[in-house]
Amino acid sequence: MTVIPDDLNRLVERVIGAAIEVHRALGPGYLEKTYEEAMAHEFGLCTIVFARQHPVAVVYKGHPCGDGKLDFLVEDRLIIELKTIDRFGDIHTAQVMAYLKATGLDLGLLLNFNVPAMRDGVKRVIRSSKNP
């Protein structure tokens, strides 16, 4: 079982707080890109260090075979993927899990802004120590 350090959990709380603030101000209904821009602004206001559209190399048996982009990499420790969907599906979790494996990180957040209350749009994805 992967244990998430307390300081990373506190960072998650700050990120979720930023998402709640964005959702409170904008509500549901916009495109993902709009929420990405608003989250970047809110992260700046909250002094949360982040990289936007951070590239991730996809490697197969030591051979580079593609790349992906994280919506946000926060403090080089937390992956954030934004969505504007009806509900999370297995494919959304799989996307974050793939990024966790590619980066070697342990924790990611799916944030869905197409919900009446942001608390219903948050999903933690943890890379299990059994699945390196």
Report whether 70 contacts 80 (CB < 8 A). Answer: yes
Among the four given CATH numbers 1.10.3470, 3.30.56, 3.40.960, 3.80.10, the one describing domain 6-126: 3.40.960
Is residue 120 within 8 Å of 74, Cβ to Cβ?
A: no
pTM: 0.92
3-state SS class at 70 = strand
DSSP code of 116? S
**Mean pLDDT on 29-42:** 98
Going from N- to C-terminal start, the domains of the chain cover 6-126
The per-residue pLDDT for range 66-123, each reduced to its tens digit, is 999 999 999 999 999 999 999 999 999 999 999 999 999 999 999 999 999 999 999 9
Q: How confident is the model at residue 42 (pLDDT cuts 50, 70, 90)?
A: very high
Alpha-carbon distance of 123 to 101, in angstroms, equals: 17
State the virtual CA torsion across 51, 118, 90, 67 in degrees, nearest 10: -10
Q: Do the Cβ atoms of 4 and 78 come closer than 8 Å?
A: no
Question: What percentage of residues in the chain have a pLDDT greater than 90?
Answer: 89
Q: What is the pLDDT of residue 14?
A: 98
Q: What is the pLDDT of residue 74?
A: 98
Mean pLDDT over the full length of the chain: 94
Q: Find where tokens 């209350």 sit.
A: 117
Angle between helices 32-45 and 6-26 (to 10 degrees): 120
Strand ranges inside 3-129, DSSP E: 50-60, 63-74, 78-83, 107-112, 122-126
